[in-house]
């Protein structure tokens, strides 16, 4: 067998940046195959795969490393050298336990409670002004909530600055050029701040906080993490939580586009809110793909690939794969009450087992925050004035052009 078809190109990176979320779907259709080969990042061969079976293959423990697996600029803006995502084998599992402990169910509830309190405090300001841009406001609310939760409560001035830094870093993740450079420049400022937090935690009395858990975490050999590594891991808790701002905007978009769901959610139970949040994570674009480099040779559709082969799992396409989802292009939270999802067909934040693989440890926190935000949006009286809510498929991570403006009565 010849294996997956190959796109005839010297390098498709510019097309990827232009087409964004549509890049893989377009090639799957043109080549008539879910799996295909192309060239990216300076002509490097890459195998793109999609679907439940592909996710199961990709997420088999220790099959792929994340080292050297993403466009370097993207990697720098999301996670950093020495972070849990760059570890493999037992060192990875050991560090991952830290994240799973810090994000325990009671800790997630505490984060949710802080989020609610910050939302309520901030909503008074929105009413006073009569208008709010949800994306900007969520950056503020989430930054304040997660920094208090982490162990670094922020004053008003500092909160604004940190929120702008986090949002710019996330904005820069899928870009090249100025948008990415801006993210990288702010990153070093944020990192200095996080290092100070770690140093202060180590110098002070031991408090029971995520910051202290990271600052006093010991590696497999019983050593404290270097200060810079601890700072990076602390930021790996804070920054992705702020990235939930995008998902909250998509919750508001879904309520706007599906007003019947606003009615159904009023007075609904927690399970229905969670199902709504899950469907938003499935339906709206965020991470287009996850990348890995093979730790051992493997075979895919009859073709042998060498150790080090680069593979991208099309997570966005997998979430909308008609083999796994009934009417995937329809927004239907009910599918999560009917158990259509499993550990591999649904992968907005990775797939498989969270403790042994690289699946995101923040999923419970994300769903909790989205469900709470939706509850508040449903309870709040606001209008959506005319604005450009279109989503540019070529811009990653995605966001509606207007950032979702709402108008409130005073």
**With binding defined as CB under 6 A, does residue 243 bind ligand HEM?**
yes
Distance CA 83, CA 76 (A): 11
Cα–Cα nearest to 150, from 216, 209, 110: 209
Residue 312's beta-bridge partner residues?
Answer: 48, 291
Q: Select the span of 188-196, 238-246, 255-263, 301-309 touching ligand HEM (CB under 6 A).
A: 238-246
372 forms beta bridges with none
Residues 6+ apart with CB under 8 A from 183: 77, 168, 169, 170, 171, 172, 173, 175
Site string for ligand HEM, 274-293 (x = CB under 6 A): ------------xx--x---
Q: Which stretch binds ligand HEM (CB under 6 A): 41-49, 223-231, 233-241, 322-330?
A: 233-241
Q: Would you state the structure tokens that stand for residue 316, as one six-digit string?
A: 């966005």
CB of residue 130 vs ligand HEM: minimum separation in angstroms? 29
The residue from 20, 112, 362, 400 that contacts ligand HEM (CB under 6 A) is 362
Q: In the bound complex, what is the minimum distance in angstroms from residue 2's beta carbon to ligand HEM?
A: 29
* Secondary element (H or E) of residue 10: none
Contacts of 89 by beta carbon, 8 Å cutoff, 6+ apart? 62
Find the binder of ligand HEM among 48, 114, 360, 391 (CB under 6 A). Answer: 360
Out of 37, 50, 96, 375, the residue judged to bind ligand HEM by CB under 6 A? 96
Which residues lie across from 224 on neighbouring strands? 218
115 touching ligand HEM, by CB under 6 A = no
| Calpha distance 158→362 (Å, rounded) | 25
What's the min distance (Å) between Cβ of 245 and ligand HEM? 8
Among 31, 251, 365, 398, which residue interacts with ligand HEM (rule: CB under 6 A)? Answer: 365
Contacts with ligand HEM: how many residues (CB under 6 A)? 26
Q: Which of residues 170-209 bind ligand HEM (CB under 6 A)?
A: none
99: contact with ligand HEM by CB under 6 A: yes
* Binding segment (CB under 6 A) for ligand HEM, from list 192-200, 270-278, 334-342, 362-370: 362-370
Pick one of 132, 244, 294, 377: the residue that binds ligand HEM (CB under 6 A).
244
Main-chain dihedrals φ then ψ at residue 74, nearest 5 degrees: -65, -45
C-beta closer to ligand HEM: residue 287 or 305? 287
- What is the distance between the alpha carbons of residues 142 and 119, in angstroms, rounded to a whole number? 9
77 lines the binding site for ligand HEM (CB under 6 A): no
Site for ligand HEM in 332-351 (CB under 6 A): 348-350
Query: CB-wise, 351 or 405, nearer to ligand HEM?
Result: 351
* No. of helices (H) and no. of strands (E), the chain: 16, 10
- Name the one range near ligand HEM by CB under 6 A: 7-15, 239-247, 260-268, 319-327: 239-247
User: Which contacts (CB < 8 Å, 24+ apart) does range 84-92 have?
Assistant: 84/233, 84/236, 85/236, 85/358, 88/62, 88/295, 89/62, 90/220, 91/219, 91/220, 92/358
Distance CA(199)–CA(227), nearest Å, equals 7
Work out whether 50 is an interface residue with ligand HEM (CB under 6 A). Answer: no
Q: Using CB under 6 A as the criterion, which residues of the chain lie in contact with ligand HEM when the complex forms?
A: 66, 84-85, 96, 99, 103, 236-237, 240-241, 243-244, 247, 286-287, 290, 348-350, 358-362, 365-366
């Amino acid at each position: 067998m010849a294996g997956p078809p190959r796109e005839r190109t010297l390098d498709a990176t510019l097309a990827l940046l232009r087409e964004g979320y549509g890049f893989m779907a377009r090639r799957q259709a043109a080549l008539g195959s879910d799996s295909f080969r192309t060239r990216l990042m300076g002509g490097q061969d890459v195998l793109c795969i999609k679907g439940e079976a592909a996710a199961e293959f990709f997420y088999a423990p220790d099959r792929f490393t994340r080292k050297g697996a993403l466009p370097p600029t993207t990697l720098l803006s999301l996670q950093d050298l020495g972070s849990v995502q760059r570890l493999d084998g037992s060192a990875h599992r050991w560090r991952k336990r830290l994240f799973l402990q810090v994000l325990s169910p009671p800790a997630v509830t505490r984060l949710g409670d802080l989020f609610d309190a910050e939302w309520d405090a901030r909503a008074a300001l929105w009413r006073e002004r009569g208008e709010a841009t949800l994306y900007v406001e969520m950056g503020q609310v989430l930054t304040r909530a997660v920094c208090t939760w982490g162990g670094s409560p922020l004053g008003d001035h500092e909160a604004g600055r940190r929120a702008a830094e986090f949002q710019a870093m996330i904005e820069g993740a899928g870009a090249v050029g100025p948008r990415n450079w801006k993210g990288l420049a702010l990153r070093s400022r944020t990192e200095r701040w996080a290092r100070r937090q770690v140093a202060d935690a180590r110098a002070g009395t031991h408090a029971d906080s995520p910051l202290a858990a990271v600052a006093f975490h010991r590696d497999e050999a019983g050593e404290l993490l270097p200060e810079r590594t601890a700072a990076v891991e602390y930021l790996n808790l804070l920054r992705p939580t702020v990235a939930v701002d995008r998902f909250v905007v998509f919750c508001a978009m879904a309520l706007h586009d599906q007003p019947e769901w606003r009615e159904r959610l009023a007075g609904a139970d927690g399970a229905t809110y969670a199902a709504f949040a899950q469907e938003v994570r499935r339906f709206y674009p965020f991470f287009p793909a996850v990348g890995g480099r093979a730790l051992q040779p493997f075979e895919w559709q009859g073709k042998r690939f060498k150790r080090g082969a680069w593979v991208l799992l099309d997570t966005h396409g997998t979430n909308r794969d008609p083999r796994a989802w009934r009417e995937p292009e329809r927004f239907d939270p009910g599918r999560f009450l009917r158990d259509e999802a499993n550990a591999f067909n649904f992968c907005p934040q990775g797939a498989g087992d969270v403790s042994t693989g690289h699946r995101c440890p923040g999923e419970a926190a994300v769903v909790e925050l989205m469900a709470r935000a939706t509850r508040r949006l449903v309870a709040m009286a606001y209008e959506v004035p005319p604005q450009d809510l279109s989503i540019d498929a070529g811009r990653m991570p995605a966001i509606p052009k207007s950032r979702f403006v709402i108008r409130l009565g005073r």
